[in-house]
């Protein structure tokens, strides 16, 4: 984009204002028209190469109140089916801000569009979600990858795909919509094949074919193809990596089944029991006890996932959070700085890490947007870094926390099974999450003996919860890591607060919403 076009774009964006409607489909269709060339014929000159990445980002802060006649998904299906076979299809990524969302629809649109769904409960997650979304798109090597598994001779239900990929089943096998392939990162699938495909007396043959479009492929060129036959005499693999991917994909499937059985208001007791039981079984594999990626996913499950299905949390944020988390694990893409299980994706990709760091720095230096409306109680936004909170409720490790018996220890010295003081009495620590600070520096607010991240709710003297950024100066300080505390499950938000540095602070899964 030229400098002139950048200025024109900023001018148009600054002139946008709400009109009282949430016409989701019209926004989606307009974006697709631009990317597929329907709105304006694409310039095919050599100076305007078609060898580009195509991605559509759809952000909403509410539920659509304008419905296309055929519904959103059928309308999207019809639109995508009308795109010529050799025309690159943009990936569709959806983002929901706040809690008044139709996350089922947003996740379904992303599922059909081969993209991600990012849930942003508050402004502190805006930066981290979009930084990761853009980094993942920018690091794509190939788009719209499809993997076909064919069984000869044909047999009914011969191919079973683990997880929740978009799958087209046929008499000859199955076609799996894998989506994007990123530089320096693998995509791992698990497919169950009939037993008669293996052994010295195998009577069936399995063939795997991948169709993919590298970003440098001309728009009118056929996708590239790679084919391999499954060796009937292949030895059975039982590696820890295979077990981890089975754990990961089975977790995704369990979440999808739970969402299918639930509404935004409640989870049926039977569905909840099945879900929690499946989580227990999935985490029981002793071979994964010391495997780091599996341990990170177990941390996700033990903290946010289990809390998400509690009745009060489900209605407020669990229904939106789980599909976002599951889609990230399905696509093996890191979607934020917060969830431990997602940090394994892209961790070995130098390109992804460099791109993410650059984008994060750029985001923090962006000028804050000009509000289209002003209210009496609004306060000015001084830095976009306020919209990028990587770790939620966090303290510096040197701060002292009050234990259940009144003694004090440094936060970094806390361990699981220790008890801490809460407004409702002693509560057991389930886990301590340590998040390293990039470059050994991070933004903190000092309140008496507390060093806390700017958007970590604390209790004011008047008995109301407030963000530290509104109570003290935000300064960038040397800090190797910040820590989040997870306490035992409790429906009462008051049981998820601890006294750190003489100040009451919330912990992970706090559920406090009043006054914040």
- Examine residue 405 and state whether it is found in any structural domain, yes or no: yes
- 17 and 119 together in one domain: yes
Mean confidence (pLDDT) of the chain: 87
Contacts of 79 (CB under 8 A, 6+ apart): 29, 32
Alpha helices (H) along 58-170? 72-81, 103-112, 126-138
Strand partners, 440: none
Mean pLDDT for 229-258 is 94
Specify whether 266 is located in the same domain as 177: no
Contact status, residue 330 vs residue 297, Cβ threshold 8 Å: no
**Residue 199 phi/psi, 5° resolution?**
95, 165
* CATH number reported for the structural domain that contains residue 86 in this entry: 3.40.50
What pLDDT, on the 0 to 100 scale, is given for residue 39?
A: 62
Taking the CB of residue 29, how many other CB atoms lie within 10 A of it? 16
Q: What pLDDT is attached to residue 387?
A: 55
Residue 385 has what pLDDT?
Answer: 54
The answer to whether the Cα torsion of 168, 267, 324, 291 is positive or negative is negative
> Does the structure show a pLDDT above 50 at 325?
yes
Q: What is the pLDDT of residues 381-405, one digit of tens each?
A: 445 555 555 545 588 999 999 999 9
The answer to the question of residue 336 being in a domain is no
Considering the domain architecture, whether residues 249 and 222 belong to the same structural domain is answered as: no
Element (H, E) at 32: helix 24-36
- Per-residue pLDDT at 434: 86
Q: Whole-angstrom Cα distance, residue 58 to residue 137? A: 14
Whether 251 has a pLDDT exceeding 90, the answer reads yes
Per-residue pLDDT tens for 80-137?
999 887 777 899 999 999 889 999 999 999 999 999 999 998 777 888 999 999 999 9
Contact 420, 485 (CB under 8 A): yes
Mean pLDDT, residues 230-244 taken together: 90
| Cα atoms in the 13 Å half-sphere on the side-chain side of 156 | 0
The pLDDT of residue 206 is: 95
Quote the pLDDT of residue 370: 66
Task: Report the helix count and the strand count for the chain, using DSSP H and E.
Answer: 12, 23
- Based on the fold, state whether residues 130 and 33 are members of the same structural domain: yes
- Locate all alpha helices (DSSP H) within 43-151, ordered by sequence: 72-81, 103-112, 126-138
- The long-range contacts involving 279-284, CB below 8 angstroms and separated by at least 24 positions, are 279/251, 279/254, 279/305, 279/306, 282/247, 282/250, 282/251, 282/254, 283/247
As a whole number of angstroms, the distance between CA 124 and CA 67 comes to 31
Q: Is residue 511 part of a domain?
A: no
- Asked if the model's pLDDT at residue 375 lies above 50, the reply is no
Residues 118 and 11 in one domain: yes
Q: Is 40 or 327 the better-scoring residue by pLDDT?
A: 327
285 and 318 within one domain: yes
Asked if residue 204 and residue 83 are part of one domain, the reply reads no
Name the DSSP class of 50. S
Q: Under a CB-based contact definition with an 8 Å cutoff, are residues 162 and 192 in contact?
A: yes
Q: What is the DSSP string of 294-332?
A: HHHHHHHIIIIIHHHTSHHHIIIIIHHHHHHHHHHHHHT
Residue 90: which of 59, 54, 58 has the closest Cα?
54
Flag whether 514 is in a domain. no
Based on the domain organization, do 21 and 112 belong to the same domain? yes
> Residue 227's pLDDT band (boundaries 50, 70, 90)?
very high
Number of domains into which the chain is organized:
4
For residue 460, give both structure tokens.
Answer: 């004011």
**Phi, psi (degrees; rounded to nearest 5) at 181:** -115, 125
Q: What is the pLDDT of residues 12-29, one digit of tens each?
A: 888 887 777 789 999 999
In a shared domain, residues 96 and 150: no
Quick check: is 446 in a domain?
yes
Residue 189 included in any domain: yes
Identify whether 419 is part of a domain: yes
Structure confidence at residue 378 (pLDDT): 41
Which residue has tokens 């431990």?
Answer: 340
Average pLDDT over residues 309-338: 94
Per-residue pLDDT at 515 exceeds 60: no
| pLDDT band of 377, cuts 50, 70, 90 | very low
Confidence of residue 376 (pLDDT cuts 50, 70, 90): very low
Domain with 475 in it: what CATH number? Answer: 2.170.16.10
Residue owning tokens 């259940």: 404
Q: Which residue has the higher pLDDT, 324 or 337?
A: 324
Q: Which residue has the higher pLDDT, 27 or 512?
A: 27
> What percent of the chain shows pLDDT beyond 70?
90
Residues in the chain: 516
Instruction: Pull the structure tokens for residue 354.
Output: 């460099």
Q: Which of 229, 254, 281 is the C-terminal boundary of a domain?
A: 229
177 vs 160: CA distance, rounded Å? 14
Residues 285, 222 share a domain: no
**In which region does residue 293 sit, left (phi positive, over 0), alpha (psi from -120 to 50) or beta (all else)?**
alpha
**What was the pLDDT predicted at 465?**
78
- Pinpoint the alpha helices (H) of 332-451: 350-365
For residue 349, what are the contacts with CB-CB under 8 A and spacing of at least 6? Answer: 139, 182, 183, 184, 185
Are residue 9 and residue 120 in the same domain, yes or no? yes
What is residue 14's predicted lDDT score, i.e. its pLDDT? 81
- Lowest-pLDDT range, 76-80, 373-377, 491-495? 373-377
- Residue in the block written with tokens 């394994």: 344
Peptide bond into 153 cis (omega under 30): yes
pLDDT at 446: 93
pTM for the complete prediction?
Answer: 0.75
Quick check: helix, strand or coil at residue 509? coil
| 188 band by pLDDT with thresholds 50, 70 and 90 | very high
Whether 63 has a pLDDT exceeding 50, the answer reads yes
Tell me the β-bridge partners of 74: none
186 within domain boundaries: yes
Residue 153, Cβ neighbours under 10 Å: how many?
9
% pLDDT > 90, the chain = 57
- Using one digit for the tens of pLDDT, what is the confidence trace for 252-305? 999 999 999 999 999 999 999 999 999 999 999 999 999 999 999 999 998 889
Structural domain of residue 451, as residue ranges?
391-506
Per-residue confidence (pLDDT) for residue 176, from 0 to 100: 97
Low-confidence winner among 36-45, 434-443, 448-457 (lowest mean pLDDT): 36-45
Same domain, 252 and 202: no
């Amino acid at each position: 984009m030229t400098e002139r076009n950048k200025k024109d774009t900023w001018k148009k964006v600054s002139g946008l204002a709400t009109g009282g409607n949430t016409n989701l489909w019209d926004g989606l269709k307009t974006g697709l028209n631009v990317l597929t060339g329907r709105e304006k014929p694409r310039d095919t000159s050599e100076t305007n190469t078609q060898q580009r990445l195509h991605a559509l980002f759809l952000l909403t802060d509410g539920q659509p109140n304008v419905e296309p006649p055929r519904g959103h998904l059928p309308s999207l299906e019809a639109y995508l089916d009308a795109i010529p076979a050799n025309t690159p299809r943009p990936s569709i990524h959806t983002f929901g801000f706040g809690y008044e969302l139709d996350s089922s629809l947003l996740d379904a649109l992303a599922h059909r569009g081969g993209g991600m769904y990012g849930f942003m409960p508050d402004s502190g997650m805006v930066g981290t979600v979009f930084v990761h979304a853009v980094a993942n798109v920018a690091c794509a090597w190939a788009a719209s990858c499809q993997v076909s598994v064919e069984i000869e001779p044909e047999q009914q239900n011969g191919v079973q795909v683990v997880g929740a990929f978009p799958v087209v089943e046929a008499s000859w096998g199955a076609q799996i919509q894998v989506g994007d392939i990123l530089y320096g990162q693998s995509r791992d699938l698990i497919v169950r094949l009939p037993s008669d495909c293996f052994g010295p007396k195998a009577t069936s043959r399995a063939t795997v074919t991948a169709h993919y479009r590298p970003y440098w492929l001309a728009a009118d060129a056929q996708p590239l193809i790679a084919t391999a036959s499954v060796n009937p005499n292949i030895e059975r693999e039982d590696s820890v990596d295979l077990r981890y991917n089975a754990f990961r994909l089975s977790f995704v499937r369990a979440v999808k089944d739970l969402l299918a059985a639930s509404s935004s208001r409640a989870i049926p007791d039977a569905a909840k029991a099945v879900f929690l039981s499946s989580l227990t079984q999935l985490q029981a594999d002793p071979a994964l006890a010391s495997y780091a990626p599996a341990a990170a996913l177990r941390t996700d499950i033990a903290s946010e996932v289990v809390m998400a299905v509690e009745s009060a949390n489900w209605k407020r944020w669990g229904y939106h959070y789980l599909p976002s988390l599951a889609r990230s694990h399905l696509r093996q893409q890191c979607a934020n700085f917060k969830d431990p299980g997602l940090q394994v994706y892209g961790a070995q990709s130098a390109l992804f890490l460099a791109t993410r760091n650059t984008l994060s720095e750029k985001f923090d230096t962006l000028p804050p947007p000009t509000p289209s409306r002003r209210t009496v109680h609004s306060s000015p936004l001084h830095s976009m870094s306020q919209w990028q909170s990587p770790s939620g409720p966090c303290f510096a490790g040197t701060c002292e926390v009050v234990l259940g018996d009144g003694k004090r220890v440094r936060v970094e010295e806390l361990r699981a099974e220790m008890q801490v003081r809460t407004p409702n009495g002693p509560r057991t620590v389930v886990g301590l999450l340590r998040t390293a600070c990039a470059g050994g520096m991070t933004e903190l607010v000092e309140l008496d003996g507390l060093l806390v991240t700017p958007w970590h709710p604390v209790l004011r003297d008047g008995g109301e919860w407030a963000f530290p950024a509104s109570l003290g100066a935000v300064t960038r300080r040397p800090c190797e890591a910040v820590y989040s505390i997870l306490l035992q499950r409790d429906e009462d938000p008051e049981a998820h607060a601890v006294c750190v540095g003489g100040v009451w602070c919330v912990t992970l899964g706090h559920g406090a919403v009043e006054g914040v």
